[in-house]
Structure 1
Amino acid sequence: MSEQPYSGKVSVGGPAQVHELADLMISKVAVGPMDNNAYLLRCRATGEQLLIDAANEAHTLLTLIGDDGIASVVTTHRHGDHWQALREVVDATGARTYAGREDAEGIPVPTNVLVDDGDTITVGRVSLTARHLVGHTPGSIALIYDDPHGHAHVFTGDCLFPGGVGNTHNDPEAFARLIDDVETKIFGALSDETWVYPGHGNDTTLGAERPQLPEWRKRGW
């Protein structure tokens, strides 16, 4: 684990970064070969853990998880770079699997719990709210932790990054759906202080990205 203040900047082969909140610890690690981020959430009160995206490098993820194991693993969407280690992690931990209802069929590890917009996923005494975001894939989900001691934290998968929404492969209809959902369900519901944890690359905040929304719409990606 890194002992440096949390910045959200991690690199493949480097240490995890830990964001310590009052009720929740968030550990971020990068795995190759596509520089995916995986996030381990730990409830401080109970010690229960949840993994977001078993992307790759099962050994790296299982080392991060440690002897306490995980109760659940959430896959943010169906693209293969976000579930390469899912089978090995589930086999090693017995974790319950979650994925968006419309994407589950594209994930080759059975999904125990199909997730719809507004559903609650718990890790110990901490609750996460799932938001269904259409456009990058049919069933992508973001997870929102509304910290009662501060601002919200949102895990966006590949739907929102610093500088733009996720790839919609030059499909204007898909782009319109995604930016509409991101504006309404993320920017429209959460404050500028909200911390954003994306599926690749560095973290950001909604406040840093909000002024760019008109430009994103204008450019169409």
Structure 2
Amino acid sequence: MKRAAVWLLLAPLGALAADDLPPLQQAPAEYARRAAAAAPCATGDVVALTVAADARSGLEATYDAARGRLRILYRMAFNQLTEGWNWHPERALAGDDYYTYKYLPLASVDEDRGTYRAEDKIGSPQEFRVQWRTDYFFAFDNPYGFYPHDADDDAGFVADVAVPAAEAARLAGGDLRMALSGRLGADCISDSTTFWKATSAAPVDFTLKKRYLIGKLAAVWFYDAASGRVLARLPATPAQGR
């Protein structure tokens, strides 16, 4: 099981300068703390979280050498939730989104939970593995405070920053990171579990858990993982129409 260091939120976000990166919490620890609490949610609670930076994320960086500027894009065109609480087909008829909430992936934790022997085919015992994966997300219903309400595949969080070519190459090569701050709602956590039974052809019992922190997105940061320097901060604004 992968373990991540936990950073505590030591100062209110309002006390930070615009170019400061807040101390960041890790989603697994934050979710576990709230899920174990008698009252997990207090409206207006603020969290600051790292956004997943793996190959599945939508983070891209393109350098314009002539201008000396790095264009950062986090694509959101397909970041929709398909959980039942987020599904509102009637709203699409009125021109709104089919899914009310969008998401940002925060972390994934993989666990190997051992093996067992059994027969999927009669008379053919074999060894089966047990694996779990827990994915963590921040779900929010105010995406258009950050980018236009548009069907463009490039819809998402965008920043354009001046950086030297060598620094741009380093950032695009893996040092670029993203973080968020969000204000939680009264119902700030949700989860689901999906299970796939092992077969002789696919000998793995696989359990997928999805865990959500839910609220309003307040700000997004793009930053340099090597130095911690903030490259851009995108605050929430009034919703942008089509």
Q: Tell me the TM-score range normalised by the shorter chain.
A: under 0.3
Higher relative contact order, structure no. (Cα contacts within 8 Å, ≥ 6 residues apart): 2
With structure 1 as the length reference, what TM-score do the two structures score?
0.27
The structure with the largest helix share of the pair is 1
The structure with the largest strand share of the pair is 2
With structure 2 as the length reference, what TM-score do the two structures score?
0.25
